[in-house]
Structure 1
Amino acid sequence: MIFIPIVVSIFSLVFAYFLANEVNKAPSGSGKMVEISGYIREGALAFLKRQYKAVGLVAVILFLLLCLVMNIRVGLGFLIGVIASASAGCVGMMISTKANVKVAQAARKGLAPALNLSFQAGSVTGILVVGLGLFCVSFLYFLTQDLMVLLALSFGGSLVSVFARLGGGIYTKAADVGADLVG
C-alpha cells in the first residue's frame, strides 16, 4: 500500500520535468529581451547562492545537534528535508527566471499563449514541491516507520522555507527602494 504514494510522487516529478521541457522549448524573444533576462537570472541566482550558504551553515549545525540529541536517523531526516526544499526552490527559481522572457515573448502573440506558458512555468514548481514532499514522506516512512524522522523531515523543509521567505522579502524591499531611487 505504501508504494502507491511513491509511484504517484514519481509520476508528478516526471510530469514536472515534462512541463519544464515545454517551457524551455518556448522562444525567448529578441536580443535585448534575452540580455535583460540574463541580468535578472544572474541576480536571482546570486541571491539564491548567498541565501543557501547561510541556510547550509544553520542546517549543518542543526543536523549535528539533532544527531547528538536524538539519533542519526532523525538528523538524516532533517537533512533530507533541507535538501528537498532547497532543490525545489532552486529549480523553481531557474524555471521562473527562464520563463519570464519566454512569457513576454508569448505575450506578443496574444494573452492566451502568455497565460498558458506562465501557468505551465508556475505549475512546474508547484508540482515539483508536492512530488518531492510526497516522495520524501512516503519513502522515509517506508524505510523507518518512525514519526520522529518525518517530523525532522518537515523541520528541515520548513527551515529552508523560512529563510526563503525572510530573505526574499528583504531582497524584494531592497529592489523596490532601488527602483524608487532610480525613478
Structure 2
Amino acid sequence: MILVLLTLAVGLFAMLMVGYLAHIVNREPPGTDEMIRVANYIIESADAFIRRMYKSIAIFVVLMVILLAIIFRSFVVVGVFVLGVFLSLTAAFIGLH
C-alpha cells in the first residue's frame, strides 16, 4: 500500500512540476517576427506528422485488438490496451503542442 501511495505522490509531484515549468516557459516573450514565423512552420509540420502517425498507428491498433481479443478473450485486456493507446497518443499530441 505504501508503494501505491508513493507512486501516486511522485506522479502528482511530476504533474505539479510540469505545470510550473510550462508556466515559466509560457510567460516568456515569443520572440521576433522571424522566430514566430519559423515556429508556425514547425507547428504546421508537427500537425501533419502526427496526423500521419495516427493513421499508421490506427492500423496496428486494430490488428492488435483483434489479436488480443482472440488470444485472451477478455474485454478487460482489450479495453486496457485501447486505453493505453489513447493515453499515449494524447501525450504525443500534447507534447507536440
TM-score where L is the length of structure 2: 0.79
Instruction: Give per-residue Cα distances to partners, 1:34-57, cap 9 Å, x unaligned.
Output: 012101111111111111121123
Match of 1:72 in 2: 75
RMSD: 1.8
Which residue of 76, 82, 92 corresponds with 1:89? Answer: 92
**In the TM superposition, what are the counterparts of 1:49-128 in structure 2 within 5 Å?**
49-70=51-72, 71-94=74-97
Does the C-alpha gap of structure 1 residues 33 and 15 become closer, same or farther in structure 2, counting only changes over 3 Å?
same
Greater relative contact order (Cα < 8 A, sep 6+): 1
User: Unaligned 5+ residue runs, structure 1?
Assistant: 95-183
- Counterpart Cα distance in 2 of 1:8 and 1:21: 20
Which residue of 22, 32, 35 corresponds with 1:33? Answer: 35
Match of 1:112 in 2: none
Instruction: Give per-residue Cα distances to partners, 1:114-166, cap 9 Å, x unaligned.
Output: xxxxxxxxxxxxxxxxxxxxxxxxxxxxxxxxxxxxxxxxxxxxxxxxxxxxx
How many pairs are equivalent?
94
The percent identity for this pair of structures is 31
TM-score where L is the length of structure 1: 0.46
User: Unaligned 5+ residue runs, structure 2?
Assistant: none
Query: How much has 1:26 moved relative to structure 2?
Result: 1.3
